């Protein structure tokens, strides 16, 4: 049986190793902000549960839970960028 011609691969080009980029540190306000958002969200949710939806903002009712969890999610999202 005849052999098929093999394709010639181009010669490998020497590559320079990637230089790791130094990540800049976070600004000084970053950690207090995300910790504050986490605590604020927790307090907001606890107050909403204790007051049965009448506080912190009465017209929102049960949507106060969504506001509290929103603060918590934003704070948690900030922790992903913490260096």
Q: Tell me the C-alpha distance between 76 and 83, whole Å.
A: 14
What is the b/e burial string over 37-73, where b = at least 16 CB atoms within 10 angstroms of the residue's CB? bbebbeebbeebeeeeeeeeeeeeeeebeebbeebbe
Give the model confidence (pLDDT) of 60-70 as tens digits: 998 999 999 99
22 vs 32, residue with greater confidence: 32
Residue 43, C-beta contacts closer than 8 angstroms, at least 6 positions apart: 68
Say what the pTM is: 0.72
Q: How wide is the angle at C-alpha 76 spanned by C-alphas 44 and 23, nearest 5°?
A: 145
């Amino acid at each position: 049986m005849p052999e098929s011609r093999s394709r010639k691969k181009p010669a490998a080009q020497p590559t320079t190793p990637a230089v790791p980029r130094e990540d800049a540190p976070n600004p000084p306000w970053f950690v207090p902000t995300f910790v504050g958002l986490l605590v604020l969200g927790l307090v907001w949710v606890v107050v909403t549960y204790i007051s049965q939806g009448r506080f912190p903002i009465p017209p929102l009712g049960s949507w106060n839970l969504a506001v509290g969890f929103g603060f918590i999610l934003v704070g948690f999202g900030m922790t992903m960028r913490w260096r």
